[in-house]
Structure 1
Amino acid sequence: MSSIELTPSQKKILEALINLYRDEESAVKGEDIAQEVDRNPGTIRNQMQSLKALQLVEGVPGPKGGYKPTANAYDALELQEMDQAADVPFQHNGELIEGANVQEIDLTSVHHPELCRAEIRLQGSITDFHEGDSIVVGPTPLSKLRIAGTLDGKDDTNNTLILTIDDMQAPYGDAEPLH
């Protein structure tokens, strides 16, 4: 499948739709999406037309109607369908966040330990995260990597938290996890 270039606005609307759809498990009304992304419902309707043309969204008619993401929508956002996502524990200020759904962990500048950063892409809203918050991600399913860090910044368009890494552990072999 060729990659579809989405505008930041389309991307944001599609992510909002996917998140709301996941929470509701039924068609999502344009007004709800409008509220979520802080745009007026007319704008959402226009954007939905283009997202429908790209086959990323389908319209559901009737009183319980609205929009729902197609399988292509997940691909377009490079997300996996939720049932295949591995649950990676995610703690925000010491509290385990249920269903935070870590999509991707990207380690940047690993060869500068004093600059070591991690980018954590979440599925779901990141509005409740603020600079200086403490974040712990992991252990991840395969490598059992666990990263503890301080929130340094965030990228709302990509739903990404940027952490300064305070501590990183990946036990080797069957070593006991470090506490």
Structure 2
Amino acid sequence: MSSIELTPSQKSILSALVNLYSGDDDAVKGEEIAEQVDRNPGTIRNQMQSLKALQLVEGVPGPKGGYKPTANAYDALDVQRMDEPAFVPLERNGEAMPEANVEEIGLTSVHHPELCRAEIHLQGSVRDIEEGDEITVGPTPLSKLVIDGIVDGKDETDGIIILQIAGMEAPAEPPQK
């Protein structure tokens, strides 16, 4: 399948839809998406028309109506859709953020002795996370990796936060079941 070029606005709206939808199979209301991406519901409705034309979204009519992402939406955002993704917790300044699930952890510049950074890809909004916040990611399901760091930057469109790593640890041996 050829990749679809989305505008940053379409990408953030589609990401919000996928994140809001992932919990259950109910259609997501335009107002919920508008709140998540900090836009007006009219703007969301207009963008949804173009996303429907690209076959990334289907509209659900009626009182329980709203929008659902199509399989193509996951491809366009390069998101693997799992029935029950493992939950990887995230804490901000010591407070759990249950609405955020860590999707991917990328370690960058690990060879640099002072500047080790982690790129954390989230499902859920990164809007409330600010530079300078203390973040704890993990433990991850398999290796029980826990990363502590300070937010160095973020990309709201792609749901990424950049951490300057303060510490990383994983138990020497995986816990026995």
Segments ≥4 residues shifted beyond 4 Å? none
Higher helix proportion: 1
Cα distance, 1:39 vs. partner?
3.0
Cα distance, 1:121 vs. partner?
0.9
Cα distance, 1:7 vs. partner?
1.4
Cα distance, 1:146 vs. partner?
1.6
Cα gap change, 1:37/1:97 in structure 2, threshold over 3 Å: closer, same or farther?
Answer: closer
Q: Does 1:6 align with 2:28?
A: no
Cα distance, 1:25 vs. partner?
4.4
| Structure 1 Cα separation of the partners of residues 28 and 164 of structure 2 | 36
Local SS of the residue matching 2:51:
helix
Unaligned runs of 5+ in 1: none
Deviates most, 57-66 or 158-167 = 57-66
Local SS of the residue matching 2:13:
helix
Match of 2:86 in 1: 86
Instruction: Write the deviation string for residues 74-131 of structure 1: whole angstroms up to 9, x where unpaired.
Output: 2222223253422112222122332421011111100002011111111111122122
Match of 1:140 in 2: 140
| Structure 1 Cα separation of the partners of residues 84 and 3 of structure 2 | 21
| Structure 2 Cα separation of the partners of residues 4 and 57 of structure 1 | 13
Deviates most, 127-136 or 87-96 = 87-96
Write out aligned runs for 1:1-179 (5 A). Answer: 1-22=1-22, 25-174=25-174
Which gives a bigger RCO, structure 1 or 2 (Cα 8 Å, sep 6+)? 2
Equivalenced residues, count: 176
Whether the aligned pair in 1 keeps the contact of 2:89 and 2:137 (CA below 8 Å) is yes
Q: TM-score, normalised by structure 1?
A: 0.85
Cα gap change, 1:174/1:141 in structure 2, threshold over 3 Å: closer, same or farther?
Answer: closer
Local SS of the residue matching 1:113:
coil
Query: Root-mean-square deviation (CA), in Å?
Result: 2.3
Local SS of the residue matching 2:144:
coil
Deviates most, 72-81 or 52-61 = 72-81
